[in-house]
Amino acid sequence: MKKIYRFVHRNYDYLLLISTLIVLIEAATYTFLVSDLIKDNGKALTVTLSTIGILLAVFQFAFTQISNRKKKYFDLRYGFYKDTVKQIQLITDVVQEGMLRDVIAGDTMHKLMSASNELTGSMKANLDLLFPGIELPNMDYKLGKTIDDLVSRTNKYYVSVKNNATEAHTIIETMNWHNEVRPMLEQLSKDKHIFFAAMRSYM
């Protein structure tokens, strides 16, 4: 049932256009051939064929316009999809790089927060517009919350180590940060694959 609904939702414009064409052809056929509006059978057939020809020309024009519009939306969706994948991967890479080095530098933290803010702004601006009705049961919220928690915890670690750079404090804070961030990265990995799959199926 969901597949049928998804098919109708995606192709509503085409289905409406085809249905309208069929109704108008049937109406023209009945009006000029079946009824006695035109007494001469030859003229009635000529008028009917001419009318159908005009309807088909209009149909072709409308079909092309719909196809062009859908292609434009597909390009926009695909661009947004690629940007989202890139931004989430950047967030993951920055945190993992910091974990390997056991340090979060100022420029790295700036890069992390910038990527997070860019992702959040892009999602708010484009998700509902380009993917209306997409089936994401709280996945966008879960994904956003995981990223917010990840950035917030990393920033807390960065500020703590920056304010107290003693070796003992840094070691303890680093261990705590690793232990708390690792499950966040695992959750992010699970959530993003579900999110990306839903976006791909919509396109």
Measured in Å, how far apart are the chain's first and last C-alpha atoms?
A: 19
pLDDT for the residue numbered 39: 76
pLDDT for the residue numbered 195: 87
Helix crossing, 41-101 with 106-130: angle to 10°?
Answer: 160
Rounded to the nearest 10°, the torsion over CA 92, 98, 99, 104 is -130
Q: Name all domains of the chain by residue range, CATH numbers in brackets.
A: 2-202 (1.20.1420)
Contact in structure between 44 and 29 (CB atoms under 8 Å): no
Write out the chain's pLDDT in tens, 203 residues: 666 766 777 788 999 999 999 999 999 888 887 777 777 778 888 888 999 999 999 999 999 999 999 999 899 999 999 999 998 998 998 888 888 876 666 777 888 888 888 888 888 888 888 887 776 666 667 888 888 898 898 888 888 888 887 888 888 888 898 899 999 999 999 888 888 988 888 77
DSSP label at 32? I
Report the predicted TM-score, pTM, of the whole model to 2 decimal places: 0.73
